[in-house]
Amino acid sequence: MRTGRCLCGAVRFEAETGATFNICYCKMCQRWSAGAFMGVTTDGFKVTEGQDVLKIAQTSDWADRGFCGLCGSNIYYHAREYGGPTVALGSLDDTTGLTATRQYFIDKKPVGFTIAEDTQKMTEAECMAHFAP
């Protein structure tokens, strides 16, 4: 079980996570995260404080994004057909033991952005074939 919060602390949560995180370079994630969205999938996610402050935006036909309505911090990305939300790596209080395993939309990665870990890489076409309805 990991804990996390937004920048201002109004939204706090608990999440059951694995030991890996993924990175996405799609244009929506670039706009949302200023370069890349890094997130860890959850088997269980519970807002412990600030449910009334948490805002949820439907950002595609298949996904929602949760963020703090006060400070704007990204909390999660949730592809509705794939279980629990993917929590923003930076919102976690402790990321000890987490390693990158997959990079989505690798062909859209900003120039100069490099991840040291050797990960599985998927292009836009591969992602759309896999995830899009």
Q: What is the dihedral of CA 42, 48, 51, 52, to 10 degrees?
A: -160
pLDDT per residue rounded down to tens, the chain (133 residues): 999 999 999 999 999 999 999 999 999 999 999 889 999 999 999 999 999 999 999 988 888 999 999 999 999 999 887 788 999 999 999 999 999 999 999 999 998 888 888 999 999 999 988 876 6
CA separation for the pair 6, 70 (Å, rounded): 9
CATH number of 2-131: 2.170.150.70
Burial 6-44 (b: 16+ CB within 10 A, else e): beeebbbbebebeeebbbbbbeebbebbeebbbbbbbee
User: Residue 92 pairs with which residues in a beta bridge?
Assistant: 4
